[in-house]
Structure 1
Amino acid sequence: MRRLLTALAVTGCVLTGLPAITLAQSLPGFTLFSGVKPDNQLPFRLDFGGQTDGWDRYRLRIPAQKMKLAVAQFVIVYPNYYKGTFDTKDIEVQVRGKKVPLSEVKWDKEGRVLEIFPEEPVPAGSRVELVLSNVRNPSSGGTFYFNCQVLSPGDVPLLRYVGTWIVSIS
């Protein structure tokens, strides 16, 4: 009887442990030495696990407390060693869980910049999620710093830093 219970316990750990490991890789973990202050680290989720050379959906979140002013443009700047691709036709902005119409999405591959323009400015104090679907992850893994900058309507046309998503692809 003890052998049976031991075998069931070990099997249960193996079967339930593997999905938990896969799921954990798709969420930001605890970052010890990133060079980015904890207040500037933004939350995110990779829906399909962040596997190299695989298709994924990035859910890049901006907490409401980071949205100090209304936003007319979101800009994501990523490093030159990130060799993934984005589908500009399958990008959306969700504000408080609701999809917001976009006027334009631009991807400057040479400058490593993704620009997202909502039709109407996103109100200050809103919880925002930038959903990038049909992303092709780079063929080599690593840690990639995606910096978020915003432009407020009627503001001096200078981008303001909001924070950084520290994305790991393995």
Structure 2
Amino acid sequence: MLFKKATARKYLSAIAITATLITGLPTLTTAQGLPGLTLFGGPQRDNQLNYRLDYGDAGTWDRYRLRIPAKKVQTAIAQFAIDYPEHYEGKFDKDEIEVKVDGKSVPLSEVIWDQENRLIEIYPEAPIPAGNKIELVFSNVLNPSRRGMYYFNCRIISPGDVPLLRYLGTWVLTIS
């Protein structure tokens, strides 16, 4: 009798695992945390930047990890300017914005959130050298209450450069 119960448990466990692998029903995901596939329109693939959202749900608090690969950083960066679309109704906490260079946080001299012009300006204390992997971390973000796709454009100013913003790439964020 004991042998039959143990064998039955093994078979039931195997069936449950197989059903999970095939249907994926018990699998929980917390967010649309990674960039998806853009079929029509949007920025060219070379201009799309990688990102990660901790949750990605509409109307909830979140953390955005906006990444810039080292190959895109061809000049030093003295300022970041991130603009977002008019239909994005989320809220940012400018005191909870961080810049990481190769995984290490760098001191910031100022962060400005211009709500009227839908622009976030980030000024590191010292210019970020070329050739480094960068991550902009926005904590305490209140996601918009509407689901959708939102284009966040990244522009930079290099030190000693003519103070014109140069396009670096676009994060195509999906809030579900």
Structure 2 length normalisation: TM-score? 0.88
Once the two structures are superposed, residues 133-168 of structure 1 have per-residue CA deviations (whole angstroms, 9 ceiling, x without a partner) of 000000111100000000000100100000000001
Q: Which amino acid aligns with 2:25?
A: V
Which residue matches 2:118?
112
Once the two structures are superposed, residues 86-125 of structure 1 have per-residue CA deviations (whole angstroms, 9 ceiling, x without a partner) of 0000100000000000000000000000000000000011
Q: Which is higher, the Rg of structure 1 or of structure 2?
A: 2
What 5-or-longer segments of structure 2 have no aligned partner?
1-7
Aligned pairs, number: 165
Shift of 1:33: 1.8
Which residue matches 1:54?
60
Structure 1 length normalisation: TM-score? 0.91
Alignment of 1:129-140 (within 5 A): 129-140=135-146
Which residue matches 1:73?
79
What 5-or-longer segments of structure 1 have no aligned partner?
none
Aligned with 1:164 (options 142, 145, 170): 170
Aligned with 1:14 (options 12, 21, 25): 25
Aligned with 1:152 (options 151, 155, 158): 158
Give the aligned CA root-mean-square deviation in angstroms.
Answer: 1.6
Q: Which amino acid aligns with 1:116?
A: I
Identity of aligned residues (%): 58
Which residue matches 1:44?
51
Q: In 2, distance between residues paired with 1:92 and 1:46?
A: 15
Q: 1:123 to 1:8 in 2, by over 3 A?
A: closer
